[in-house]
Amino acid sequence: MSGLAFTIPGEARGKGRPRATVFKGKGDVPARARMYSDSKTVSYENLVKMAASQALGSRQPFDEPLAMIVTVRMVPPASDSGKKRAAKLAGSILPTKLPDLDNVVKAVLDGCNKVAFRDDALVVRLVAEKAYAETPGVDVMINPIQLRAAA
């Protein structure tokens, strides 16, 4: 199976911290907590699922070791001078602002889970970067890893 490439449009969103709701116990039943993702994270992961699903088309999800490349494209602030904006777009100044790269990658992995691949544990090689660009988005490439035959 060949690889898969797709773009998640719009501003990148990092995976939010899990939230918890506590249910009070009654009688002998102890209180318990239920963990859930915030609505913005759920919405972004659904956007990832949609983009991955469209790119996959009628093919089956990957079920083999995978390499993944994630490029987060961020737009320089409108308040930047023309010179500073040009430097950012040329790659002379790198984006060290939020969202954190690892949190974006986690949201992309979770959004692709069971859509682009059977499980995110299949991703054994990962390259990720943030860069300034004219339009925001996240570019994703997923490729099966060709294993070498044992000697």
Q: Does residue 64 sit within a domain? A: yes
CB-based contacts of 8: which residues, under 8 Å, 6+ apart?
47, 48, 51, 108, 111, 137, 138, 140
Place of tokens 């690892």: 102
Q: Does residue 62 sit within a domain? A: yes
What is the rounded distance in angstroms from the CA atom of residue 66 to the CA atom of residue 80? 39
Please give the mean pLDDT across all residues of the chain.
93
Q: What is the mean pLDDT of residues 84-112?
A: 97
* pLDDT score of 21 more than 70: yes
Q: Does residue 127 sit within a domain? A: yes
DSSP-based three-state secondary structure for 41:
helix
Q: Does residue 149 sit within a domain? A: no
Q: What range does the domain containing 75 cover?
A: 4-144
Residue 1 has a pLDDT of 59
Which tokens in the block code for residue 104? 């974006």
* pLDDT score of 69 more than 70: yes
Helices (H), the chain: 39-56, 82-90, 101-112
Number of domains the chain is built from: 1
